[in-house]
Structure formats: structure tokens, C-alpha cells
Amino acid sequence: MTSKHPTIQDKWVQGRHGRLFVRTWTPHGAHALAPLILLHDSLGSVDLWRGFPAALCEATGRKVVAYDRLGFGQSDPHPGALAPDFVAAEADGDFASVREQLGIERFALLGHSIGGGMAVHCAVRHGAACVGMITEAAQAFIEDRTVQGIAAAKELFRDPKEFGRLEKYHGDKTRWVLGAWIDTWLQPAFANWSLRAVLPQVACPTLVIHGAEDEYGSTAQAATIAEGIGPRARLAILPQTRHVPHREHPAQVVGLIRNFLADLA
């Protein structure tokens, strides 16, 4: 564990359809280990990770990289609606741009919620370059709890106060961000979306973290991911935990990730 706070740097990367905002946390001293790249959730951004990336950097001794996907946070607006294959497309899209322009060869991944699904595709698409992956509160398929949770959130964000809280992070793009999540996930065409076909192709060690009381997906989501990947996957179900384990139980989640990554170069 490092004794000093990490060095934080903000930069911009040119993505396929606009500029992407990137923030890095670099530990002091030697850091030859593969950096950890974070993939945010459907309403997330670099700033919404809050103190989690710095804590990961200090605990693991790894550089941590987070970026705002196109349309989110400080990145440029998205030119239109999300394509139906947006989860898989991230691997060859903005993720690839970030990796290439930051000169990242080997890496580990951590994806929260739909970022976990993107992490799965990135791990498969980039093969041996991915040394390990963590999914947190990730969905592997659409279930009733997922649809009900999103429908409840749709009502919640009708409240100007709740909308305003999100607007602090996404500005003029907030309405698009909400639509990209709610409208995409609730459309009938998305009902059969699943990670099941791609999971067996994940070759790297994987840690699957899930809250027992996650309002957007039961523990069957985590079990599907772990079983689909097979013996390379470890499953950690956290009791009394909802959809954001790293905010609800930060020390526990950082500890799980630190121990998991300790065995990886």
C-alpha cells in the first residue's frame, strides 16, 4: 500500500464521435502493474465514482483510469440514440480509443452495473491484454426486478430535485443520459439482451461482486456471470447491500478488489 495520495491528472481523448474526458490516479513510486480501468454505470461519470478510484489506487498500488463515455459527464454530447448493441460496441469504440491514446498495453477492468457488461466484452475483445476483471452489480440478462427498478427510477427522476442532482454531473446532457438508460432498457427490443453467449469466452480471472438486495438485479445475475465464465471466476455476494456496493461498503469492496488483484501482474 502506498503512503502518499495518488497523483490525479485530467486529460482528453478523441473518441469515435467526440472528445472523451479521462481522469487518472497514479500511485507514487514504482507502478509497473497493469492499470485498472473503470467503466461506469448507466447514469455514471468520472466524478460520480467520488473517492473510490483514489482508494483503489492507494490500496492496490496500481494506476487507475476512469473515463466519461460519450454523452456522459464532461465528455461531448452523444449524436443520437444508443444503438441496440451499445454494450458490446464499447469494446471497439471509446474503450479502444482510451486504451490506444493513453498507450495502455496490459490492463485490468472494473465495471459497475452496465459497465460490468461492457467490461465482459472488453475482456473478450482485447484478449490476453486483460489480466483480470471485476464486475460489480452487473446485469447478465433482463429480469423483472431490472425492469421494475428502472420503472421506479423513471418516476423518481420526474422530481425536479432528483433531476437536478443528476444535472450537476451531466449538465445539458442529463435528459439524454436518462433516456439512454430508461428508454433503452424498457424497450421491447432490448428484452432478450444477454451476456450468456459471450461469458464463456472470458479468459482472465474474474471477481463478481453483487449486493444481495440489489434493486436492479437479483443474485441470479451474478451467478450467471460466474457460472458462464467458469472456474476462473470468484463470486462475492454482499449481504444488506443494494446496487452500489462501492459506496455502501467502500472498505469491504476495496479490500475484496485489493486481494483479488494481488495475485495478478
All structural domains of the chain, each given as residue ranges with its CATH number in brackets, are 7-261 (3.40.50.1820)
| pLDDT given for residue 4 in this prediction | 76
pLDDT category at 241 given cuts 50, 70, 90 is very high
| pLDDT given for residue 30 in this prediction | 61
Whole-prediction pTM: 0.96
pLDDT digits (tens, 9 = 90+) for 143-159: 999 999 999 999 999 99
Residue 31 has pLDDT above 90, yes or no: no
Please report, for residues 2, 21, 134, 248, 263, the alpha-carbon distance to residue 205 in angstroms, rounded to integers and kept in the order given.
24, 28, 9, 25, 10
Q: How far is CA 81 from the centre of its chain?
A: 20
pLDDT digits (tens, 9 = 90+) for 83-135: 889 999 999 999 999 999 999 999 999 999 999 999 999 999 999 999 999 99
| pLDDT given for residue 32 in this prediction | 85
- Find the DSSP H helices in the chain: 52-60, 86-89, 94-101, 114-125, 144-156, 160-170, 174-186, 219-229, 245-248, 250-261
Residue 215 has pLDDT above 90, yes or no: yes
Residue 67 has pLDDT above 50, yes or no: yes
- Give the single-character DSSP code of 68: P
